[in-house]
């Protein structure tokens, strides 16, 4: 779904207030995340989740939950605590814009 359409849909449905972050800025900020999640959203360490192609709404909600303390994790709570709303919008835009294809075994 195009980035704008996703944001409009989310606002229109009132699911969550969405900041329309741009993926290019998010890509630069993803240097903070690459050790564990990769620039491409494919996890580099076994205990971190893949976040490539994850919905923007979900990514924003999780980062805000880590930041507020609603969701707790020793690493992510610290990292999210340093992110502004704009950082979260841009990082979510970047990771959600990555095309991800799942190929189940035959």
Instruction: Name the site residues for ligand HEC (rule: CB under 6 A).
Output: 32-33, 35-37, 47-49, 51, 59, 62-63, 73, 75-76, 79, 91
Tokens 């996703």, located at residue: 6
> Would you state the torsion angle of the CA atoms of residues 15, 16, 17, 20, taken in this order, to the nearest 10 degrees?
-90
Cβ neighbours around 101 below 10 Å, total: 6
Q: Is the Cβ of residue 10 or residue 63 nearer to ligand HEC in the bound state? A: 63
- Shortest Cβ contact with ligand HEC: which residue? 33
Q: Is the Cβ of residue 8 or residue 75 nearer to ligand HEC in the bound state? A: 75
């Amino acid at each position: 779904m195009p980035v704008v359409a996703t944001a409009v849909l989310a606002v229109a449905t009132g699911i969550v207030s969405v900041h329309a972050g741009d993926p290019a800025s998010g890509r630069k900020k993803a240097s903070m995340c690459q050790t564990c999640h990769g620039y491409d959203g494919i996890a580099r360490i076994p205990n971190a989740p893949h976040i490539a192609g994850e919905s923007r709404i979900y990514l924003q909600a999780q980062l805000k939950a880590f930041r507020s303390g609603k969701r707790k994790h020793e690493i992510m709570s610290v990292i999210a605590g340093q992110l502004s709303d704009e950082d979260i919008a841009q990082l979510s835009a970047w990771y959600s814009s990555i095309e991800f294809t799942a190929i189940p075994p035959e």
